[in-house]
Amino acid sequence: MAKEYLVNKDPKKAFMMSNEAMVRGALEADVKVISCYPGAPTSEILDTFFLLRNEFDYKFTTATNEKVALETVAGASMSGFRALTSMKSVGLNVASDAFFSLAYTGINAGCVMIVADDPHCHSSQSEEDGRFFGPNAYIPMLEPSNPKEARKMVKTAFEISERHKSIVVIRTTTRVNHQSGIVETEALNRTPFVKAKWSEVGENYFTVGETARQNKFKLLEKVKNIQIEFEDSPFNVISEGEGDIGILTSGVGYCYAKDACKILKINPKILKIGTPFPLPEKKIADFMKGLSKVVVIEELSPYLEHNAKRIAKDFELDVTILGKDAGHFSEAMEYNVPIVVMGISSALGIKSPIDYDGILKRANDLKTILPERMPCFCAGCPHRATFWAIKQAVRGRNVVFNNDIGCYSMAFFPPLNMTMSLLCMGSSLGLSAGMSQVLEDDVMCVVGDSTFFHAALPGLVNSVYHNLNITLFVLDNEVTAMTGQQFHAGTPEDRGMPEGKKRIIIEDVCRGIGVGHVAIMDSYDVKNNVDIIKEALDFKGPSVVISRRSCALHGDRIKRRTGVPIVQNEVDKSICKKPHTCIKDFYCPSFRFDSDDRAARILPEICDGCGVCAKICPFGTIHPIGEEAPGREVKQ
C-alpha cells in the first residue's frame, strides 16, 4: 500500500498532497459518506477515497454530477452521518441550487464541501472567486494555505458543521490542492458503520413559503453566532511585526506574502485569514488599529480588500488599504512570489531588490527556438480517430460545430481547429437548440460519455421534444478521461467497479427518449465511420452518433492487467512515399520523420498500437511490428 500514511492508525509525519491531507482529515473525523464528481484540481480527493474504499467501511459514490453529489451527502448528513463532497469551482455552479436551499434547511451530522477555485484557468473555463458563495448563501467557509492546515481544517470543519447545523465549505485554490508537503497526522479512531432509522433523526428539512421566511431569520442568527466563534478561531492568525504597516492575506497568498517580505527585508504585522466567511470583523479592526497602511494580498477578486475598507469605515480607523483598487495587484491570474514582491513594492513605494523583469527577459530571449507543446490527444486516443472521420464527412457541407467539456475539447487546437463554441458541461446541446432554429447549416454538437450523464440529458430531451435538427456525437470512451479516467454511469461493469452498480447504456437512453436516428460506431474504424456520420447529418430531426472505444490510458491499464500485449506499429520505409498524411492531419505524438530521407517514423516508446494511422495511410506502409505492411502486397 503506497498510501500507508493515509491508513495508519497512529499519528505520523508524512509527505502528502493537500488533496490527500484533506482525505486524511475527513477519515480522522470519522466521515461515513462520500460522494463526488471529478474536476481538477479536486479529482485526487475522489480518487483517494476510491482507492481506499476497501480499507474502510465508508459509503463512497462517484455521482453523476456535483448537484447530485451535494444532495447525496446532505441526505446522509440529515440522516445523522458525517459526510463530505468535493468539487471544482464551476461544480458549485451546478450544485448551487441545492446549496442555497441547504443553508435554509440546515443539516444534521457534520457535512463538509471542498470547493476549489482555479486562478489562472489551469484547467477551468473561468477564474471564479467562490468566496462570494459564502455571504451569498450564508454558508461558513474555511481557507487553508498548505497541506498541514488543509488536514486540520477539514477535521475541524466537521465539528463546526455539527455545532451550527450548517454545511461548512473548505475553499481552496489550485496551488493549495496541488501542493504537497510534510503533514503531521492525528490518530484514526473509526467507529463501525451501522445503519440508522429516520425516526431517530427528529428533524425535518424543508424550506418553502412561510417556513422559508422563518428559516431566513434563523439563518441570520446562525451566521451571527458563527461569526462570534470565528473571532477567536485559531485559523485567523496574526504574526507580529514592526512599524505601522500591515499585510492582510489568506490562502496561498499568505505563503507568497511571507517569502516576499523576506526578499524585501521588511517585517510587517501580518493577519492571515482562515475564515473568509463570516469574517472576524473585530479581529480585522483590531489588527488595523494603529496601522497607517494595510496591503491586501489575495488572488482574484478584492474580497478581503473591500471588506477591510468597509470595516475600517465602520470602526472609524484612519488606515489606507492598498490592493487591487489602487492598481498594485491584478484581479486576473494567479500570483507568485515575484508578483507579490512587485505589488508590495508598488504599494509601499519601495524598490524591489531583484530585477525580476530582467530575469524573465533574459530567459525569454533564450527561448526563441523553443517549440510550443500544446495539449494533444494521447497516442491511441479514440477521439483523434473520431474527429478524423468527422472532418472527412463534413467536407463540402456548411456546418456548425459546438464543442463541450472533456478531452475532446482539444478539437479546438490544430490540426482540427473545429470549435465554434465551448462553454460549460452539456452546453453544446442548448446552444445547438438555439442555432438549429435560426441557421441553415447542419448543427452538430459533441459530448463525452461522462458529460452525457452529467448535464447533456436535459438538452437532448429538449431537442427530441421540439424535433430540432441537431446531430449529437457522444464520444464514449468508457470513463471520465480528462480528470483521470474515473468511472461513471456508463462504464462497463467489468472494470472493477464496486459491486451492485448497473451500467446505463447510452444508446438505450437515446432510443428510450425517442431519438429517431441512433448510430453506433467503433471509433477506430475510421474509413467506414465517414458514411455513418454523413447519414446522421442527412437525417431530419435529432440524431445521435455514439463513437465507442476505451480511452487509451484506461485501455492500456486493462491490457496490462489482463496480459493483453500492446503491439506497436512501424513504418515500412522502403515503400513510404512521404505524403505525411500521418503527420500533417493527425498529430499523433508517436510520429516524427527522419531528417535524412523524410520518411515517417513511429517512436515505439510512445506508440499505443491503435493502428488508426495504418488505416489513413494512402500507401499502406504502416503495420504492426512483426507483420508485413499491407502496401507491400499491392506493389507486387
Partner 1 sequence: MSQDSSFDLVICGVGGQGIVLLSNIIGRGCAKADLEARTGELHGLSQRSGTIYIHMRIGKDNLSPLIPYGEADALISLEAVEALRYLEYLKDDGVIILNKRVINPPIEVAQLSKEKRTDFIKFDEIKEKLNVITQNIAPLPALDLAKEAGNPLTENVVFIGALSALKSFPLDAEVLKESVAESVPKKALDVNLKAFDLGYKAAYDSLCQTVECVERKID
Q: Which residues of the shown chain bind ligand TPP in the complex (CB under 6 A)?
A: 38-39, 66, 88, 90-91, 94, 405-408, 425, 447-451, 475, 477, 480-483
Kindly state the smallest distance separating residue 87's Cβ from ligand TPP, in Å. Answer: 7
CB of 61 to ligand TPP, least distance (A): 15
Residue 344 CB contacts under 8 Å (≥ 6 apart), including other chains = 247, 257, 260, 261, 264, 266, 295, 297, 328, 350
> What is the smallest separation between the CB atom of 151 and partner 1, expressed in angstroms?
14
Residue 291's binding partner, choosing from partner 1, ligand TPP, none, with beta-carbon cut-off 5 to 8 A by kind?
Answer: none
- 407 within 8 A of 420, measured Cβ to Cβ: no
| Minimum distance of ligand TPP from residue 515's CB (angstroms) | 18
Where in 459-577 does DSSP place strands (E)? 470-476, 517-522, 543-548, 569-571
Chosen from ligand TPP, partner 1, none, partner binding at 17 (C-beta under 5 to 8 Å by type): partner 1
Min separation Cβ 505 and ligand TPP, Å:
15
Which one of partner 1, ligand TPP, none is in contact with 263 (Cβ closer than 5 to 8 A by kind)? partner 1
Nearer to ligand TPP, 74 or 407 (CB): 407
SS3 482: coil
For ligand TPP, the closer of residues 474 and 600 by Cβ is 474
Nearer to partner 1 among residue 374 and residue 438 (C-beta): 374
Nearer to partner 1, 353 or 458 (CB): 353
Q: How far is the CB of 599 from partner 1 (least distance, A)?
A: 11
Residue type, 22: M
The backbone torsions φ and ψ at residue 446, rounded to the nearest 5 degrees and listed phi first, read -135, 140
**Other Cβ atoms within 10 Å of 592 Cβ, number:** 12
Residues 467 and 458 sit within 8 Å (Cβ to Cβ):
no
From partner 1, ligand TPP, none, which one binds at residue 592 (CB under 5 to 8 Å depending on kind)? partner 1
The Cα-based distances of 294 to 125, 268, 317, 330, 560 in angstroms read 33, 9, 12, 17, 58
State the virtual CA torsion across 212, 214, 216, 217 in degrees, nearest 10. 180
Whole-number Å distance between alpha carbons of 306 and 290: 19
Residue 97 phi, psi dihedral angles, 5° rounding: -60, -50
Q: Is 111 helix (H, G, I), strand (E, B) or coil?
A: strand
Which amino acid is present at 564? V
* Binding-site partner at residue 276 among ligand TPP, partner 1, none, CB < 5 to 8 Å by type: none
**Cα 477 to chain center, whole Å?**
19
**Residue type present at position 200:** E
441 binds, among ligand TPP, partner 1, none (CB under 5 to 8 A by kind): none
Our CB check for partner 1 shows the closer of 466 and 598 to be 598
Chain-centre distance for alpha carbon 469: 32
Smallest gap, in angstroms, from Cβ of residue 5 to partner 1? Answer: 8
Which residue lies nearer to ligand TPP by CB, 30 or 66? 66
Nearer to ligand TPP, 120 or 190 (CB): 120
CA distance 298 to 277: 15
Residue 313 binds what, of ligand TPP, partner 1, none (CB under 5 to 8 Å, by partner type)?
A: none
- Least gap, CB of 181 to partner 1 (angstroms): 4
Strands (DSSP E) contained in 449-529 are: 470-476, 517-522
Q: Which does 254 bind (CB under 5 to 8 A by kind): partner 1, ligand TPP, none?
A: partner 1
Q: CA separation (Å) from 114 to 57, 161, 171, 555, 630?
A: 21, 13, 6, 30, 54
Binder of residue 395, out of ligand TPP, partner 1, none (CB less than 5 to 8 A by kind): none
Q: Least distance (Å) from partner 1 to the CB of residue 58?
A: 25
How deeply is 280 buried, as exposed, middle or buried, from its count of CB atoms within 10 A (0-12, 13-18, 19+)? buried
Give whichever of 406 and 620 is closer to ligand TPP, judged by the CB atom: 406
Toward partner 1, which CB reaches closer, 367 or 502? 367
- CA–centroid distance for 350 within its chain: 39
Output the smallest distance, CB 46 to ligand TPP, in A: 10
Angle at 152 between CA 146 and CA 158, to 5 degrees: 130
Nearer to ligand TPP, 160 or 405 (CB): 405
Nearest residue to ligand TPP by CB is 448
**Cβ–Cβ < 8 Å for 313, 288:** no
Residue 372: which of partner 1, ligand TPP, none does it interact with, CB under 5 to 8 A by kind?
Answer: partner 1
At its nearest, how many Å lie between partner 1 and the CB of residue 364?
Answer: 8
- C-alpha distance across the termini of the chain, in Å: 57
488, three cell numbers: 461513471
Cβ proximity to partner 1, 291 vs 481, nearer residue: 481
Q: Which does 377 bind (CB under 5 to 8 A by kind): partner 1, ligand TPP, none?
A: partner 1
